[in-house]
Amino acid sequence: MLSRLMSSSIRSLDRECNCTVRLLDDSEYTCTIQRDAKGQYLFDLICHHLNLLEKDYFGIRYVDPDKQRVNNKDANISQPPFTMCLRVKFYPPDPAALREEITRYLVFLQVKRDLYHGRLLCKTSDAALLAAYILQAEIGDYDPGKHPEGYSSKFQFFPKHSEKLERRIADIHKTELIGQSPETSELNFLQKAQMLETYGVDPHPCKDVSGNPAFLAFTPFGFTVLQGNRRIHILTWDEVTKLKFEAKTFHIYANQTEDQKIILTYFAPTPEACKHLWKCGVENQAFYKLEKSSQVRTVSSSNLFFKGSRFRYSGKVAKEVMEQSAKIKRDPPEIHRAGMVPSRSCPSITHGPRLTSVPRTRRRAVHISIMEGLESLRDSAHSTPVRSVSHGDSFLPSQGHTVDGGEARASAVISDEAYSPSDSVLPTPVAERGLEMNLNGAPCIVDEDEGGASLEATHKRAGRKAPRALKSRPSPPSDAEELHKFILSVLRLFLVTIGLLFALLLLLIVLTESDLDIAFLRDIRTTPEFQQFHFEYFCPLRRWFACKLRWMGGLLINK
């Protein structure tokens, strides 16, 4: 009896695992769940822990054994390491329309993280105002007794910035934001960030048909392409008609006008990354474009027959989420900003002159190349049609810039004219991916581990990987390849048609000529329609074939 109890307990322990989820405030939530539990179960536990009702904007993210990001609540949590992150999955188009303050606060933490890691690009004037809002939300009104001269330099809002920008931040905080409560400052921060072009951008690295690095992103307003810190394309969700992928190739079909149809083609690093990109696009388009979740349809990436993947978005759409939020009637949950959610980028003044609460080894790996005199992103509406941006809008560092005896410098402090971090980086549960700029201006993604890497080693990796990327850049498909694909598709169609006709012929012979006494065959034979077909069409056709065969046999015998 005791042995059975012990073996049962061991089996129960084998079926369970400890799962750790990093929340938006960098705290950790740990729970014990079954190994075959769905991600939705863990997500519901987190939302209950945070007292969060407007949870459809959020999701859990982890990296699978193939080092591919997964953001699917229906996935099984079956393989270690069981470490995940809570992140905003669908950015609200209008943060002010969120019903509860706890939801706005979590979105505020996500957008603040985007600003810190260079995913949110803005002018220097906008950067100073956004940082001042963060300062007001976390330390309150300016107090000369608590905040000595240069106090804003003890906070790290961006990857890198100048002393002049620090003074601007402090001036705005001292003079323009007096009396604002934390919730008001957070809302003002979100409303300002919402007007920026890269609000809600979650970039996916890829290459265009010429082999040039680019980032594809899905925002609340549509599909956008970033290249060299420039937004070169934007399509609204109403304009996007289809998203398709095949191996590493990703296609975007769009109708800008009735007569103007375009196809954009990009190449992902791996087939798994391309499939993940396709699923993200399908989910975002369904969430932001559709009126009801009942309108969601299963989409396929295939061209013709049995080739490709099928996927269906299973959540609510944005309009339904807003309608459901309007029905929330409860006392606002308490938000512990100081204790429950310590600042990532803005530590308390009383804890000493610490630049950031990010561990030092990881902080050194977060590096972004920025040159003085860069032009800012032009403020444009989110519905701007697809356009190419001239070189005057470029945010790449100028080549050949030298300092200190002619040596090229890969990084500089943030410009006093424009704040524009380099190409966006991708968050992962174990580390933040940094984007490094090598000296020839070609961006490359660098993965850091939890301990981080030195800046010198990162530059060496970037310089070593760039030539290989140029050698292996994909070439655009030629006319012969397109013709070959078309011929293969036609052959597949022909073979499938022949197979179906052959199967129907076999079934017809079995029905008419065999003596098999099977229930469903007997039912078919007794129907009036089949009997009419048998006597009026099949029997005359059989006699005609028999006559022709006898005639051909006679000819062969006479010869």
Minimum mean pLDDT range among 157-161, 487-491, 507-511: 507-511
User: Distance (Å, rounded) from C-alpha 134 to C-alpha 137?
Assistant: 5
**Choice between 533 and 425, residue whose per-residue pLDDT is larger:** 533
Confidence bin at 455 (pLDDT 50/70/90): very low
Say if residue 523's pLDDT is above 50: yes
248 is a domain residue: yes
393 is a domain residue: no
Please state the three-class secondary structure of 368-389 as a single string.
CCCCCCCCCCCCCCCCCCCCCC
- How many domains is the chain partitioned into structurally? 4
491 is a domain residue: no
Q: Assess whether 26 and 127 both reside in one domain.
A: no
Q: Assess whether 133 and 74 both reside in one domain.
A: no
Say if residue 313's pLDDT is above 60: yes
- Sorted by sequence, the CB contacts under 8 Å of residue 172 that are 6+ apart come out as 128, 129, 132
Q: Assess whether 55 and 145 both reside in one domain.
A: no
User: Distance (Å, rounded) from C-alpha 266 to C-alpha 248?
Assistant: 8
Q: What is the CATH number of the domain that holds 73?
A: 3.10.20.90
Polymer length in residues for the chain = 559
463 is a domain residue: no
CB-CB contact of 428 with 63 (8 Å): yes
Query: What are the structure tokens assigned to 88, written together?
Result: 């905003």
Per-position b or e across 182-191, b if 16+ CB within 10 A of its CB: bbebbbbbbe
Closest CA to 392 of 382, 377, 379: 377
**Choice between 306 and 212, residue whose per-residue pLDDT is larger:** 212
**Letter for the amino acid at 270?**
T
- Sorted by sequence, the CB contacts under 8 Å of residue 26 that are 6+ apart come out as 342, 344, 357
At 414 the pLDDT is: 33
Phi, psi of 500 (to 5 degrees): -65, -40
At 532 the pLDDT is: 80
Angle of CA points 448, 206, 306, to nearest 5°: 115
Q: What is the CATH number of the domain that holds 106?
A: 1.20.80.10
Say if residue 132's pLDDT is above 60: yes
Segment 464-475 mean pLDDT: 42
Q: Assess whether 274 and 314 both reside in one domain.
A: yes
Q: Assess whether 32 and 143 both reside in one domain.
A: no
525 is a domain residue: yes
The mean pLDDT value of the chain amounts to 74
CB-CB contact of 374 with 420 (8 Å): yes
Domain boundary among 270, 300, 326: 326
Domain boundary among 171, 194, 217: 194
Domain boundary among 326, 353, 376: 326
Q: Assess whether 289 and 217 both reside in one domain.
A: yes
475 is a domain residue: no
Residues 285-306 pLDDT 10s:
999 999 999 999 988 876 555 5
- Sorted by sequence, the CB contacts under 8 Å of residue 208 that are 6+ apart come out as 214, 227, 265, 266, 267
At 290 the pLDDT is: 94
Q: What is the CATH number of the domain that holds 236?
A: 2.30.29.30
Residues 474-485 pLDDT 10s:
455 567 777 888
Helix (H, G, I), strand (E, B) or coil at 306: coil
Q: Assess whether 53 and 68 both reside in one domain.
A: yes
* Domain extent at residue 553: 503-558
Angle of CA points 390, 394, 395, to nearest 5°: 165
408, HSE (Cβ side, Cα atoms, 13 Å): 14
Q: Is this model's pTM higher than 0.75 or not?
A: no
